[in-house]
Structure formats: structure tokens, C-alpha cells
Amino acid sequence: MKTVELILFGVGALLLTLFSIASVYPYIETRLENIADRRSVHLKSDFLRLSSKLVLICFSATGAVLGIAAFIATRNIFASVLSAAIPVIFSGLAVKRYRRQRSKRIIRQLPSFLDTLCGYVKAGHSLPEAMASAIPLLPRGIREEISWLSRLNRLGTPLSDAFLAWERRMPSSELSLVARPMRIALSTGGSIVSLLERTRDVLRARQRQHDKMRSMTAQARLQALVLTMLPPIFLVVLSKMEEGFWEASTSSSTGRLILLTVAILQFFGWLLIRKILAVKI
């Protein structure tokens, strides 16, 4: 009788698990598809064409690898499921970081673009012709942006409105320094060549100042990295040297409270150091 009860209990637990999975799966699938669609749209706006299906495949493959690795390392189902969800949870941060790095790269390429554009205008080309001719000579990043700007102008948008759309598309002080004077010069008939040269020189001076500030704060950033990584490394080394230290720290409420306090203080210290070193030019 006990064997029959165990079999019935196992069958019931299996059916209940399958019912729970079948109930939750459509919601999870819909959420994943919506997130993949949003990430695909964000990446397409930066000319990285990944379909939502490909993004979903990346989520699934990366999540499976992380989940299996976490299960092998910890033998814990909860840790495995949490690790498998990491690609979806942090995908928004990854996309924002990609867009921010791409924007920084384009800003650094602006002086060379203005230099090339100035050369074509001096040779007698109109500004739209100069932009179209400069596109093949530009590096990746700003090449897609100028191609988009030139295409917008060819479709009938006035060049001043196209510069306004570019400024709204990539909001930054450096791009505003290029777009706003260009819009004024196009509407009032100012000298394009002198404007391009002055803007190029100002951007290069700002970049030199920015590089100088980064070199001056390099030691402080290295100290911040050392101070941030020192407590976790010390915890790992002490756990290897003293057997039972990690178990004693995590098994008691006092030890867990100390570890949580240290983690919170480390996080706020890292934010404070970033705030101090974030020098705006």
C-alpha cells in the first residue's frame, strides 16, 4: 500500500509541476518576446540589425550556458534558474552601454568628419554634395550617421531640419556644438568653411582637455579599483586559509548582516568615487 501511495504521490506531483509550467510558460514566452522586440528596436536605431528572433536565441543560448554552469558549480536549482535569467535581466543595461560607447566613439570622430567636409566644401561642392562624397571616407560609426543624415536630406527634409533631427537623435553637447551653428548658418547664409574649421578646432581642444583630465585621474581610478576589489579578494583568501570561515560567516545571522553591510558600503563607496572622478568639461 505504501508503494502505491508513493507512486500516486509522484504522479500527482509530476502532473502538478507540468500544470504549473504550462500555466506560466505562455506568460514567460510573451514577456521574453516583448523584451527581445524592444532590444531589437533599440539596436536597429543604432544600425545594429538584429532581429527579435536572433535576440531571443541569444537570450536562450546564454541563459542555458549560465544556468548549466551555475548548477555544476553550486548544485542549487534556485541559483541555476537565477543565473539563466541574467541575460534577460541585464540586457537593457548591456544595450545602454553599447549605445553609450558608440555615442562616445562617434563624438571622437566628429573632428575628422568636419575636416573632411571642410575640404570638400573648399573644393566647390555644396554642403549636401560634400556630405554624400565624404561618406565612403568616414570610419564606421559616424559613417552610418552621416549616411542617415544625407538620406534624410535626399528624401526632401531641409538640411537644417535634418541637423535638428540628428541632434535630437543623439543628444550631446558636442553634437549640439556642430548642429546648432550649422542650422543658423544654413538659414542665414553664413560662411560654412570658417564655421566648420572653428567647430573642428573647438572639438579637438575639448578632446585634448578630456584626455588630459583622464590621464590626471588615472591613478585615482586605479586606487578606486584596488579599494573596491580588496574586500572580496581578502574574503576569498581568508576562506582558503582558514577552514570554516566562510561557513561561519554565512551560517549565522551576525555574519550575514556583516557581509550585507560590507556589500552596501562597498557599493555606495564605488558610487561616491565615480561621482568624484566624473569631471565634466
Residue spans per domain, the chain:
15-89, 100-215, 217-277
pLDDT over threshold 80, residue 168 = yes
Banded pLDDT at 20 (limits 50, 70, 90)? low
Banded pLDDT at 226 (limits 50, 70, 90)? confident
Banded pLDDT at 247 (limits 50, 70, 90)? confident
Give residue 16's pLDDT: 58
Q: What is the DSSP string of 183-242?
A: HHHHHHT--HHHHHHHHHHHHHHHHHHHHHHHHHTHHHHHHHHHHHHHHHHHHHHHHHHS
Give 49-58 pLDDT, tens digit per residue. 888 888 888 8
Q: How far is CA 4 from CA 1, 7, 11, 90, 157, in A?
A: 5, 5, 11, 47, 78
Banded pLDDT at 48 (limits 50, 70, 90)? confident
Q: How far is CA 11 from CA 1, 3, 6, 85, in A?
A: 15, 12, 9, 29
pLDDT over threshold 70, residue 18 = no
pTM of the model: 0.73
Give the count of alpha carbons within 13 A of 60, CB side only.
Answer: 11
Which architecture does CATH list for 100-215?
A: Up-down Bundle (1.20)
Give residue 80's pLDDT: 76
CA dist 171 and 194 (Å) reads 24
Question: Span 147-156, mean pLDDT?
Answer: 89
Q: What are phi and psi of 49, to 5 degrees?
A: -90, 95
CB 193 within 8 A of CB 122: yes
Banded pLDDT at 19 (limits 50, 70, 90)? low
pLDDT over threshold 80, residue 79 = no
pLDDT over threshold 70, residue 14 = no
Q: How far is CA 236 from CA 228, 243, 248, 257, in A?
A: 14, 11, 14, 18
Question: Span 138-162, mean pLDDT?
Answer: 88
Highest mean pLDDT pick, 13-17, 21-25, 195-199, 244-248: 195-199
Question: Span 210-220, mean pLDDT?
Answer: 78
127 or 251, greater pLDDT = 127
Give 95-144 pLDDT, tens digit per residue. 888 888 988 899 998 998 888 888 888 888 888 888 888 888 888 888 99
Residues in the chain, how many? 281
CA dist 155 and 220 (Å) reads 50
Give the rounded percent of residues in the chain with a pLDDT score beyond 90: 0
